């Protein structure tokens, strides 16, 4: 069941600032003490002063302990603000809108995508994003990338990969515009029509390591099929996808621009609506009733280079992006659950934090914008081991110059990154 915001806050600052005897650590765990002049407690929304966070192995052992272990390494971050690692729940690490991206799917294979992903994963981590939900790859290269990061072969954020996105034949997540026989795909590659095929598609993604199921409920922008908001999966098909994913403990993220497709996906029980460009009063009430999250990816509406797009795609972008901005503002005012996502790849990886200023521009306070990438993101992911600086959570920590509550754009320049107790970027 989705946590309410009130229940999230009940965790409280007392647990965070617990002081006293240090917990016993497992033999061999290394300690590191981080000192900072300031720390943002995202749960209370307060800035704490002169903070010490003791890290043991991969987790936070103490916050402001009364004493430190003998010989512990101390890393002084100086006059900086410490925050929990950020989370981006709508990335495409395997992709980028550079070069001949329009024809890439028929010129390159999964190995090319994986190599591109290595670069983009490292860039994303250095930008302060220690966890991502990667919503759609090719040839399971996203899952291979996640495994390589888990093994420590390459640097990158914790990943929740989707495998192939699910799409109707000729839909937004299919490859269209070529002669018959070119880039044809089936349920194993996510292209599925009807109840039996979508069921097989979900099971096949899970078999090969998907940690979330991504479905294209409507048409989209960066594709050559019909109107941008047209519904593509029926509510019945969507319901089967959700029910099967749920049996395996996975959530479903639904790409959806048009109101009919958004409403069908919400009623089918998806956990999040990605983009959500055309929200109606009915949709907003249904999302609030069910606790459905909106992942708005709104900075791309400010940043996308329209001149670089093919004419049909540009026309779709120009028609839907202004509508999406207004829909997000309505959702914020109405109190819809919102989690942070960028669609990184549509604009360069590493610029993910620019989403914060766009969220504030649409009506959020800075602390609420930051919560979308921390405690609310953790809630949508269904994890309880990250999203705040608290004893027992993963030592996913970042630091910035300045106070992000005064100027949320400070998050666009990260001075320090730790993931799972390991320092990846430092002043």
Domain assignments of the chain as residue spans, ordered by start: 5-85+387-425, 86-381
Distance from the first to the final alpha carbon of the chain: 40
**105, 155, 211, 214: which is the annotated catalytic residue?**
214
Candidates 5, 16, 77, 81; CA nearest to 408 is 81
Q: For residue 124, give every residue at least 6 positions away whose Cβ sits within 8 Å of its Cβ, in sequence order, or none.
A: 88, 91, 93, 132, 156, 157, 344, 349, 350, 352
Paired tokens of 112: 């090319």
Establish whether 396 is a catalytic residue: no
**142, 193, 343, 379: which is the annotated catalytic residue?**
343
Backbone angles phi, psi at 207, to 5 degrees: -55, -35
CATH label, 5-85+387-425, candidates 3.90.25.10, 1.10.150.20, 3.40.50.2000, 2.30.40.10:
2.30.40.10
Paired tokens of 215: 């479905």
Q: What is the CATH number that goes with domain 86-381?
A: 3.20.20.140
The strand pair at 293-295 and 272-275 is best described as parallel
**Tens digit of each residue's pLDDT, the chain (427 residues):** 445 554 444 444 444 443 333 333 444 578 999 999 999 999 999 999 999 999 999 999 999 999 999 999 999 999 999 999 999 999 999 998 777 766 777 778 899 999 999 999 999 999 999 999 999 988 999 999 999 999 999 999 999 999 999 999 998 888 787 788 888 888 999 999 999 999 999 999 999 999 999 999 998 887 877 788 899 999 999 999 999 999 999 999 999 999 999 999 999 999 999 999 999 999 999 999 999 999 999 999 998 888 788 888 888 888 889 999 999 999 999 999 999 999 999 999 999 999 999 999 999 999 999 999 999 999 999 999 999 999 999 999 999 999 999 999 999 999 999 999 999 999 8
Alpha helices in 217-280, H assignment, sequence order: 235-247, 259-268
- CA dist 311 and 297 (Å) reads 22
- CA dist 423 and 127 (Å) reads 13
Task: For residue 39, list its beta bridge partners.
Answer: 48, 82
Residue 85 in contact with residue 127, Cβ under 8 Å?
no
Establish whether 302 is a catalytic residue: no
**Relative orientation angle of helices 194-207 and 235-247, to the nearest 10 degrees:** 30
């Amino acid at each position: 069941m989705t946590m309410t915001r009130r229940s999230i806050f009940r965790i409280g600052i007392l647990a965070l600032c617990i002081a006293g005897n240090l917990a016993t650590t497992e033999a061999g765990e290394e300690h590191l003490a981080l000192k900072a002049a300031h720390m943002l407690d995202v749960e209370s929304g307060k800035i704490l002063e002169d903070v010490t966070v003791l890290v043991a192995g991969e987790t936070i052992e103490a916050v402001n302990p009364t004493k430190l272990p003998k010989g512990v390494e101390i890393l002084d971050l100086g006059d900086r603000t410490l925050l929990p690692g950020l989370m981006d729940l709508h990335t495409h690490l395997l992709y980028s809108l550079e070069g001949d991206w329009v024809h890439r799917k028929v010129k390159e294979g999964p190995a090319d995508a994986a190599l591109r992903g290595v670069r983009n994963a490292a860039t994303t981590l250095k930008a302060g994003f220690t966890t991502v939900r990667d919503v759609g790859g090719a040839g399971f290269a996203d899952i291979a990338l996640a495994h390589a990061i888990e093994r420590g072969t390459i640097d990158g954020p914790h990943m929740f990969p989707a495998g192939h996105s699910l799409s109707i034949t000729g839909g937004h997540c299919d490859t269209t515009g070529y002669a018959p026989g070119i880039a044809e795909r089936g349920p194993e590659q996510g292209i599925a029509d009807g109840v039996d095929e979508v069921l097989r598609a979900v099971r096949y993604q899970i078999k090969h390591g998907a940690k979330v199921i991504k479905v294209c409920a409507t048409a989209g922008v960066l594709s050559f099929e019909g109107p941008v908001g047209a519904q593509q999966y029926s509510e019945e098909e969507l319901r089967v996808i959700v029910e099967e994913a749920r049996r395996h403990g996975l959530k479903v993220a639904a790409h959806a621009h048009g109101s009919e497709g958004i409403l069908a996906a919400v009623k089918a029980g998806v956990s999040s609506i990605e983009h959500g460009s055309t929200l109606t009063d009915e949709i907003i009430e249904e999302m609030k009733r069910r606790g459905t999250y909106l992942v708005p990816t709104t900075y791309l509406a400010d940043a996308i280079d329209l001149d670089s797009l093919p004419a049909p795609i540009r026309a779709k972008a120009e028609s839907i992006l202004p509508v999406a901005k207004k829909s997000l503002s309505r959702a914020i005012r109405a109190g819809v659950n919102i989690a942070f996502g960028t669609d990184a790849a549509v604009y360069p990886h590493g610029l993910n934090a620019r989403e914060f200023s766009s969220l504030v521009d649409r009506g959020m306070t800075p602390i609420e914008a930051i919560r979308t990438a921390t405690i609310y993101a953790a809630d949508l992911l269904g994890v309880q081991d990250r999203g705040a600086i608290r004893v027992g959570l993963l030592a996913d920590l970042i630091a910035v110059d300045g106070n992000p509550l005064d100027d949320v754009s400070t998050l666009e320049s990260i001075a320090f990154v730790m993931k799972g107790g390991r320092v990846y970027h430092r002043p």
